[in-house]
Amino acid sequence: MTHKTQVDIYYEDTDCGGVVYYANYLRFFERARTRMMIDLGVDPVYWQKQGVVFAVYRAEVDYKAPAVYGDRLEIETTISGVKPTRLTFNYVVRVRGRVINTGLTKMACVGADMKPQRIPDEIEGKLTNQDG
């Protein structure tokens, strides 16, 4: 399944050169990933209260072209590499159909004590059965 999220670029997202500040792509990835999980039926707030958190342990971003104030990003998110305690989200960012950025985040499932734990079966089932 490919999940799509749109993000509008505001002045506050840009640097002094008028392009999207490079670190903001990680924020945009976070929004896209969270929206995907919610749409798959995995509410991060609910699971956090149950002592289940997904923490980023690796992030990669490849910049191909800039986005600027007024652009609308379309972020395609997919899940790959689901393992017992971790998973990987992949991102492709487009502006008007043109790929401007790609990236990934690797997540570890941890408890409130920040120690690794198995992804609960209920979550794993929703993340690996992405027919919708």
Q: Annotated active-site positions, please?
A: 15
Q: Where are the domains of the chain?
A: 3-121
pTM (2 d.p.): 0.93
The secondary element (H helix, E strand) that includes residue 58 is strand 53-63
**Banded pLDDT at 48 (limits 50, 70, 90):** very high
What residue has token string 């929004």?
A: 31
Query: What is the distance between the alpha carbons of residues 88 and 126, in angstroms, rounded to a whole number?
Result: 15
Assigned CATH for 3-121: 3.10.129.10
- Is the backbone of residue 88 left (phi > 0), alpha (psi -120 to 50) or beta? beta
Question: What is the percent of the chain with per-residue pLDDT over 70, rounded to a whole number?
Answer: 98
| Chain-centre distance for alpha carbon 115 | 21
pLDDT digits (tens, 9 = 90+) for 5-15: 999 999 999 99
Give pLDDT tens digits for 99-126: 999 999 999 999 989 999 999 999 999 9
